[in-house]
Amino acid sequence: MSVRVYISGDTTAVAVGAERVAQRFEVEATRAALSYELVRSGSRGAFGLEPLLEVDSARGRVGFAAVTPDDIPELIRCMKESVFEHPKCLGLVAEIPWLSDQTRVTFKRCGEGAPADLENYQRLGGYVGLNNALALSRQAIVDEVKASGLRGRGGAAFPTGIKWQTVLDTASDQKYIVCNADEGDSGTFADRLLMEGDPFQLIEGMTITGVAVGATQGYIYLRSEYPRAQQMLERAIDAAYDAGLLGQNILESRSSFDLEVRMGAGSYICGEETALLNSLEGKRGVVRAKPPLPAIEGLFGQPTVVNNVLTLASVTAILADGGADYAHYGVNRSKGTIPLQLAGNVKNGGLIEVPFGASLRTVIDEWGGGTRSGRPVRAAQIGGPLGAYLSNTQLDVTIDYEAMAAAGGMLGHGGIVVFDDTVDMAKQAHFAMDFCAKESCGKCTPCRIGAVRGREVLERVCESGATEDDLILLMDLCDTMEQASLCAMGGLTPLPVKSAVNNFPEDFDVAPENSEVAV
């Protein structure tokens, strides 16, 4: 009897040794005459457990955590004997609390099998949503998405159904679906995980979106740093074409949808939707003024849905199980589940999909297990490099778009970066301005010049302490950038800076000698 073994091919898993584990496995299995099938799956996102090796057993899938190549001979022995007693054995994967305590809707298939295996995808419930959608009117599909309460997972949290309605209502011979897969926020990786682990879900989601608004062409704008995601997406797209799930008359319906992957060129700002559209059109990746909204005049001037990977992927579940089912999760105006990405100085980093409503502290303490350094948590930056730094005392905030905003933060794309008590928040504020200066497209003045001036002021503050004038100037600059910038890049850069100053004033203490100068 053949043994089926799963080792993730995901970029993070490979980074911690999954490739070497897989190679060693094949060598040793052959040597040991083990009859096997090795599946290079996606990752479940429990990075603390990677390289995670899983084996099908009679009871279900059994997992071994943090496997090294040297563990392999012993593990093969276990497999041959079907005895799963090993120090690294986690028991049944389905029963690992870190995973089973999550509510996996979008990431339910991630790690289950080979990413570009269409049959596997369909066996696990894939393409039910598209089949349902093809039986509905366009308006009915959009209504279902509205009913789900789904909001854009890229960070802006705009109601997806309303965006789609605009595109549906805008008459045009050609409409487009653009997937924003330019995941550039520091500490985030949910899009990548999904594209590497479950690419069909994105493809199906985009196809449903196309059917819903009457768009026949889709583009996935993928950041250049994601070569494996590109590979998986392209394989999956080929398979979908072969199966009649893309192209003319999908599943013999009257709907057609073509899809291509387009690679970015290494610019953070091209994750901003209008800069992305410019880049996709072959133009310089600078932000466009809105209006016109992309939903009305987007790619090549045509009505365009621009949604994040997770947003589009979520649509498959909404169409499979109904909008009401999805809306059943979550709280207040934040419906469904949110894939959080835990990173930075944290013990158990990875992807945690939970319904909205959990507390941030629970996520950091219980899933994250506190800091990796073992020192106390001092700060967490939520929502990427443009998100606020919250202090330890603020961590009881609920994961809910509005509650986060009320706490002076921003959920963004769901990235959580944890810092212990050795962090210097003035340096973090400097990092924010530096990041903006490096990544600004340069179109609008507050961002183009403001970020550089902000960096200079904070350089001075980091080197020789702040004067009162420095802080007044810094806060004025933050106001200017916040209120006058063309897009969220310049508009949100003040958020980490201001939160650092306000929530960690001790790191910006005006030194006595400076204070005198200021007077």
Partner 1 sequence: MNSMVEFYQPQPDFGTPAIQATDAVSLTIDGRVVSVPQGTSVMRAAFEAGIKVPKLCATDSLEPFGSCRVCLVHIEGRRGYPSSCTTPVEAGMTVTTQSDQLAKIRRGVMELYISDHPLDCLTCPTNGDCELQSTAGEVGLRDVRYGFAGENHTQLEKDESSPYFTFDSSKCIVCSRCVRACEETQGTFALTISGRGFDSRVSVGPEANFVESDCVSCGACVAACPTATLTENSIIEKGIPEHSVTTTCAYCGVGCGFKAEMRGQEVIRMTPWKDGKANEGHACVKGRFAFGYSTHKDRMTEPMIRDSIDQPWKKVSWDEALTYAATRLREIQEKYGQKSIGAISSSRCTNEEVWLVQKMVRTGFGNNNIDTCARVCHSPTGYGLKQTLGESAGTQDFASVADADVIVVMGANPTEAHPVFGSRLKRRLREGAHLIVIDPRRIELVGAPHVKSDLHLPVQPGANVALLNAIAHTVVDEGLMDADFVKARCEETAFKRWLSFIQQPENAPEASEAYTGVHADDVRKAARLYATGGNAAIYYGLGVTEHSQGSTTVMAIANLAMLTGNIGRRGVGVNPLRGQNNVQGSCDMGSFPHELPGYRPVSDDTVRETFEGAWGVKLDAEPGHRIPNMFDEALSGGFKGLYCQGEDIAQSDPNTRHVEAALESMECLIVQDIFLNETAKFAHVFLPGSSFLEKDGTFTNAERRISRVRKAMEPLGGKADWEATLGLAQALGCDWDYENPEQIMAEIASLTPTFAGVTYEKIERLGSVQWPCTDVASEGTPTMHEDSFTRGLGQFVVTEYVPTAERCTRRFPLILTTGRILSQYNVGAQTRRTENSTWHAEDVLEIHPADAESRGISEGDWVGIASRIGDTVLRARLSNRVRPGVVYTTFHHPVSGANVITTDNSDWATNCPEYKVTAVEAMRVSQPSEWQARQQTFDKKQKQLVEEAIVG
- Encoding tokens for residue 406? 């009320």
Considering only 206, 317, 457, 497, the residue that binds partner 1 (CB under 8 A) is 457
- Tell me, by CB under 8 A, how many residues bind partner 1: 37
Considering only 34, 65, 331, 452, the residue that binds partner 1 (CB under 8 A) is 452
Q: Mark 455-486 as b/e (b = at least 16 C-beta within 10 Å).
A: bebbeebeeebbbeebbeebeebbebbbeebb
Instruction: Assess contact for 5 and 79: CB atoms under 8 A.
Output: yes
**Which of these ranges, 100-108, 183-191, 373-381, 474-482, lies near partner 1 under the rule CB under 8 A?**
474-482
442 binds partner 1 (CB under 8 A): yes
How near is the Cβ of 280 to partner 1 at its closest, in Å?
17
Please give the residues from 330 up to 359 whose contact with partner 1 meets the rule CB under 8 A. none
Q: Which is nearer to partner 1, 404 or 486 (CB)?
A: 486
How near is the Cβ of 472 to partner 1 at its closest, in Å?
8
Helix (H, G, I), strand (E, B) or coil at 501: helix
How near is the Cβ of 485 to partner 1 at its closest, in Å?
7
Cα–Cα distance between 1 and 63 in angstroms, integer? 19
How near is the Cβ of 54 to partner 1 at its closest, in Å?
44
Cα–Cα distance between 35 and 3 in angstroms, integer? 6
Cα–Cα distance between 77 and 65 in angstroms, integer? 17
Q: What x/- string results for residues 283 through 302 when contact with partner 1 is judged by CB under 8 A? A: -xxx--xxx-----------
Considering only 95, 281, 469, 516, the residue that binds partner 1 (CB under 8 A) is 469
250 DSSP assignment: G
> 197: Cβ–Cβ under 8 A, 6 or more apart, which residues?
8, 10, 41, 42, 43, 107, 109, 110, 111, 115, 232
Considering only 303, 349, 414, 446, the residue that binds partner 1 (CB under 8 A) is 446
Q: Which is nearer to partner 1, 350 or 494 (CB)?
A: 494
How near is the Cβ of 436 to partner 1 at its closest, in Å?
8
Is residue 176 packed enough to be buried (19+ CB in 10 Å), middle (13-18) or exposed (0-12)? buried
Please give the residues from 240 up to 279 whose contact with partner 1 meets the rule CB under 8 A. 267, 269
Q: Which is nearer to partner 1, 281 or 479 (CB)?
A: 479
How near is the Cβ of 477 to partner 1 at its closest, in Å?
7
Considering only 158, 373, 453, 515, the residue that binds partner 1 (CB under 8 A) is 453
Is residue 348 packed enough to be buried (19+ CB in 10 Å), middle (13-18) or exposed (0-12)? middle
471 binds partner 1 (CB under 8 A): no
Considering only 34, 89, 92, 449, the residue that binds partner 1 (CB under 8 A) is 449
Report the relative pairing of strands 36-41 and 3-8 from DSSP bridges: parallel
437 binds partner 1 (CB under 8 A): yes
Q: Alpha helix locations (H) across 341-467?
A: 360-362, 401-406, 425-439, 445-448, 450-464
Closest of 120, 195, 134, 104 to residue 320, by C-alpha: 134
**Which of these ranges, 49-57, 154-162, 210-218, 477-485, lies near partner 1 under the rule CB under 8 A?**
477-485
How near is the Cβ of 297 to partner 1 at its closest, in Å?
12
> What count of residues does the chain have?
519
Q: What x/- string results for residues 478 through 517 when contact with partner 1 is judged by CB under 8 A? A: -xx--xxxx-------------------------------
Q: Which is nearer to partner 1, 215 or 451 (CB)?
A: 451
Q: Which is nearer to partner 1, 64 or 435 (CB)?
A: 435
Considering only 14, 145, 157, 444, the residue that binds partner 1 (CB under 8 A) is 444
Is residue 265 packed enough to be buried (19+ CB in 10 Å), middle (13-18) or exposed (0-12)? exposed
Helix (H, G, I), strand (E, B) or coil at 442: coil
Cα–Cα distance between 207 and 133 in angstroms, integer? 10
Considering only 40, 175, 443, 498, the residue that binds partner 1 (CB under 8 A) is 443
Instruction: Assess contact for 43 and 189: CB atoms under 8 A.
Output: no
Q: Which is nearer to partner 1, 101 or 476 (CB)?
A: 476
Q: Which is nearer to partner 1, 269 or 342 (CB)?
A: 269
> 236: Cβ–Cβ under 8 A, 6 or more apart, which residues?
115, 116, 118, 199, 200, 203
Cα–Cα distance between 262 and 273 in angstroms, integer? 14
How near is the Cβ of 445 to partner 1 at its closest, in Å?
5
What amino acid is encoded at 182 in this protein?
A: D
Q: Which residues of the shown chain bind partner 1 in the complex (CB under 8 A)?
A: 267, 269, 284-286, 289-291, 437-453, 456-457, 469, 473, 476-477, 479-480, 483-486
